[in-house]
Structure 1
């Protein structure tokens, strides 16, 4: 019981070391990825992993109150991080994930077949908001009826006029602001006015940009929302988990939404990790980080535009951008594949006008992870040029008449230009720090 992982399970230890080196030597551009701190990792690996708790602190079903001060500290810090009055707002810190947190809200405040309204997935929306493409992947649309709103095609931003018209027609019970690949800020006041007019609850999912909200660099959803959910690991860069903020008028309904209604006991080690990360949100260092996240994302966007490429809405206000690859005749699937081969992590994503959930027209690019590692604006310009080279190599492979449509992946793996780019990306990436890890003591640095 007291032996280390390396002593007990060498096979698994090697797999973890291999992944550690992959993270060190890869340019991470997926907007939802980040690097957490040594302090958070200390919490995750602490004795709190041994402790099970159920229901609400100091009102436990089993009477396990020993870790209640930790949960209460997490709640206090969550309210403080977003400048909330404890007499007006409450927060639940036990949810396992953002998608589960959203479902917990629906299951608590809605009846079966009530209508929910969120951003269409081809406009950057998230499946947990009731998006119906593809229907078989989303249990939300089994229990509730989902209607989406979209973007103004002339601006690439939320079409509030059409949202209002649709809401008046269908009278949803919940209207959701927030997305997975929407690069602009939100007019929460307009959302709230529409919600109030049709009698809907106004919910904001700020999972992607919660750190920017805390640093007061984007509009504040708490001024208008009834419910706010968020994950804790994207721009917040904490551990996996989620928070549910609610106005006190909803407290009676939501106080039992976690246990015994939807899930079992919270993960106390993760709650402790969230608590220590919420403390970091109060620091000037973190606020400076948040500013750099936005600056770096704008830099990479401006560089791509300067190279002749098309971004949804023409740019970004936040930590991410959506690159429309259709003008180049390339799918997001192929761009993701060639970037992966060159040690650059991006994620394919739908863009407005896509009709297939499998063949997507764009990719998401985000700045949080590499900004955490210390990349500067000049570094992000270099990253944009790496992406430019990857795209051009992909187009060369795609145009080769000797390479069939099903042979693209094999051609990428064998292409010498891809290998050359991979080597350069590797050398570029390993120069940056990897928080929480002392790379000098990595035992299997050459495992790939």
Structure 2
């Protein structure tokens, strides 16, 4: 049963309620390894579903365009102060709707259409909004892209510097969606200073690890920090922008009125809850366990003959090239889903296959760590992955799914009982 209960929804719209219950049960019974997903706490779920969704609040605390903000202003101010305290930043904006709009606000704040911008190429592990060609950021700006070394799968910062010196970008993005190694923020900052660029650290994937001390922080190196609030931070589907004092006003203006109207107050409240949870000592243990699980899973996969981009991981994320297994990422992901193991097919650096049918899969350990699984369960997960990838029929996949559900029955899930 979903928690908090959805009895009113079940009475008003039973078909929809049944679909939500089905999704909750699916999340309970599967090993969820999608690197951008997690389980939020019941408290975050409750905050997301409150009457705050009824209220319009264009503007910022103390300077709104609608009346009746006596409770909304302190909620937003609370989220801001918690973000500033947790990450040690001068300024935080908690109104951005999601990660992509947050990054668009960065462009609006510090660049003009046609300016040169620099980011990690999408096939190498970057994000669409870091200037990739099919994104608005690649269409409205002159984008130059860096990648990784073919021999190591890691960013070559000497090549990044040479590209930056040649192209002189207005801003440089570091971070991405499929980077299994530690991001060297000081090195990126030195390059940005040398060419007079604004450094933007997109920590959407690693924000929880940064907050929990399991990954170095970009604070003091990047002038602007962009992040989602879910993934490793274990909050609702939202985003934040953080910065030094010098960029605070421009960022706020870019978010509102530059890109959006009223904030989603129920999400703001849930972000405040998640930030308070991330400030607890237990969250530091959680962040360390995420990394320990990822390393243990990576080792177990390598032992079974799987090839990992860069050879392993320093964080929550594993990028696996299935070429040597004789199967593409897409059919492997679909087989694994049938076997009760949820991940996503993903391009790998220098992938000869098309993006919709790539060579790799991407895994992450945030959600299974929230459930309480530890390093002792990682070899079993690797064995299931190995069996599912090699499975020749549906019966084997169904058998694995049963074993997965049997294991997970012993690990509670927030939001389902």
TM interval, shorter chain, is over 0.9
Kindly report the root-mean-square deviation, in angstroms, between the aligned alpha carbons of the 2 structures: 1.4
**1:334 to partner: Cα distance:** 1.2
**1:64 to partner: Cα distance:** 4.1
Larger displacement relative to structure 2 (108-117 or 289-298) = 108-117
- Cα distance in 2 for residues equivalent to 1:330 and 1:3: 44
Aligned residues of 2:56 and 2:66 also touching (Cα < 8 A) = no
1:359 corresponding residue in structure 2: 357
Could you tell me the TM-score, scaled by structure 2's length? Answer: 0.96
2:91 corresponding residue in structure 1: 90
Shift in CA distance, 257/436, structure 1 to aligned 2, threshold 3 Å: same
1:423 corresponding residue in structure 2: 402
Aligned residues of 1:297 and 1:321 also touching (Cα < 8 A) = yes
2:75 corresponding residue in structure 1: 70
2:48 corresponding residue in structure 1: 44
**1:257 to partner: Cα distance:** 1.4
- Cα distance in 1 for residues equivalent to 2:415 and 2:400: 28
Q: Extract structure 1 runs of 4+ deviating beyond 3 A.
A: none
The residue correspondences of 1:25-64 to structure 2 (distance < 5 A) are 25-64=29-68
**Pick from 76, 85, 91: which aligns with 1:80?**
85
Q: Deviations over 1:261-311 (max 9, x none)?
A: 101111111101100110111111111111110000000000011112111
**1:196 to partner: Cα distance:** 1.1
1:113 corresponding residue in structure 2: 114
Q: What SS does structure 1 have at the residue aligned with 2:233?
A: coil
**Pick from 156, 159, 163: which aligns with 2:156?**
159
2:380 corresponding residue in structure 1: 382
- Cα distance in 2 for residues equivalent to 1:190 and 1:210: 19
User: What is the number of equivalent residue pairs in this alignment?
Assistant: 410
Larger displacement relative to structure 2 (348-357 or 313-322) = 348-357
Q: Deviations over 1:149-176 (max 9, x none)?
A: 0112222111111111111111111111
- Cα distance in 2 for residues equivalent to 1:127 and 1:64: 38
Aligned residues of 1:92 and 1:244 also touching (Cα < 8 A) = yes
Q: What SS does structure 2 have at the residue aligned with 1:81?
A: helix
Aligned residues of 1:55 and 1:258 also touching (Cα < 8 A) = no
**1:258 to partner: Cα distance:** 1.7
Aligned residues of 1:177 and 1:191 also touching (Cα < 8 A) = yes
Q: What SS does structure 1 have at the residue aligned with 2:126?
A: coil
The residue correspondences of 1:13-412 to structure 2 (distance < 5 A) are 13-66=17-70, 67-84=72-89, 89-132=90-133, 135=134, 138-355=135-352, 356-393=354-391, 396=392
Q: What SS does structure 2 have at the residue aligned with 1:4?
A: helix
Q: What SS does structure 2 have at the residue aligned with 1:316?
A: coil
Q: What SS does structure 1 have at the residue aligned with 2:363?
A: strand
Larger displacement relative to structure 2 (143-152 or 92-101) = 143-152
**1:365 to partner: Cα distance:** 0.7
- Cα distance in 2 for residues equivalent to 1:384 and 1:99: 33
Q: Deviations over 1:51-108 (max 9, x none)?
A: 1100111011224432101100100000111123xxxx11100001011100111122
**1:3 to partner: Cα distance:** 7.7
Q: 1:9 and 2:13 equivalent?
A: yes
- Cα distance in 2 for residues equivalent to 1:106 and 1:14: 42
Q: What SS does structure 1 have at the residue aligned with 2:234?
A: coil
- Cα distance in 2 for residues equivalent to 1:32 and 1:148: 23
Could you tell me the TM-score, scaled by structure 1's length? Answer: 0.89
Runs of 5+ unmatched residues, structure 1: 397-411, 440-448
Aligned residues of 1:55 and 1:256 also touching (Cα < 8 A) = no
- Cα distance in 1 for residues equivalent to 2:190 and 2:362: 31
Aligned residues of 2:59 and 2:65 also touching (Cα < 8 A) = yes
Q: What SS does structure 1 have at the residue aligned with 2:384?
A: helix
Larger displacement relative to structure 2 (240-249 or 254-263) = 254-263
Shift in CA distance, 234/3, structure 1 to aligned 2, threshold 3 Å: closer
- Cα distance in 1 for residues equivalent to 2:201 and 2:108: 16
- Cα distance in 2 for residues equivalent to 1:257 and 1:430: 46
- Cα distance in 2 for residues equivalent to 1:14 and 1:157: 45
Q: What SS does structure 2 have at the residue aligned with 1:197?
A: helix
1:406 corresponding residue in structure 2: none
Q: Deviations over 1:170-209 (max 9, x none)?
A: 1111111101010000111111111111111100000101
Q: What SS does structure 2 have at the residue aligned with 1:151?
A: coil
